[in-house]
Amino acid sequence: MQAQIIKILAITGSTRKNSSNFKLLKFISEHIKSEFEVEIFEDLDQIPHFNPDLDNENPPEKVLDFRNKIIEADGVLICTPEYVFSLPGSLKNALEWCVSTTIFSNKKTGLITASASGEMAQDQLSLIMKTLEASFDESTQLLIQGVRGKINEEGKMINKETAIALQNFIHHFENQFLVS
């Protein structure tokens, strides 16, 4: 009997190609158990600016596509940098399109902030995801400060403590799905 595949939507909060956040999600997708299938979403810059007047029965197609990816996923991973002591505008914009829905309600979620500092963005992301009723706790949140010195150009962890913290994060994230 074949094990059921657990679908994870991994959202990178950076719009930069091959960013540290993308590399971290790639690392997770390569080190997570075989029961998991990870799709990395890199199209935040394609989602139109949030407009409550357009958040009706017929929202923009890119918004519907984004929401459907969340709905179809068993869980969501968000890995974001911090820009000017806050979340990147493109990530916050995408999440704003989800406020009028229940698509994150009880959705198993992992949150990573990887930046120079990241503390304020981590706090803001946690607050937003609590507002959206996502399911996460301290063990499925990770702050990686000084990320550029901890992962190389090829996406290999070059800092032992960060590698251990990331493996612990992956373990706790997996256990949300594997422990009944």
pLDDT, tens only, 79-114: 999 999 999 999 999 999 999 999 999 999 999 999
Q: Which residue has the higher pLDDT, 96 or 18?
A: 96
Strand partners, 157: 151
Residue 2 has pLDDT above 80, yes or no: no
What is the pLDDT averaged over residues 138-163? 95
Instruction: For the chain, give every domain's residue range.
Output: 6-176
What is 6-176's CATH topology? Rossmann fold (3.40.50)
Element (H, E) at 62: helix 61-72
* Residue 168: band (very low, low, confident or very high) from pLDDT cuts 50, 70, 90: very high
CA distance 86 to 17: 20
pLDDT (0 to 100) of residue 101: 97
Residue 40 has pLDDT above 60, yes or no: yes
CA distance 112 to 11: 10
CA distance 151 to 169: 16
pLDDT, tens only, 115-150: 999 999 999 999 999 999 999 999 999 999 999 999
Strand partners, 143: 113
Q: Mean pLDDT score of the chain, rounded to an integer? A: 95
CA distance 167 to 134: 22
What is the pLDDT averaged over residues 16-41? 95
CA distance 132 to 128: 6
In 13-146, where do the E strands start and end?
36-41, 75-80, 108-115, 141-145
CA distance 153 to 105: 36
CA distance 130 to 176: 17
CB 87 within 8 A of CB 19: no
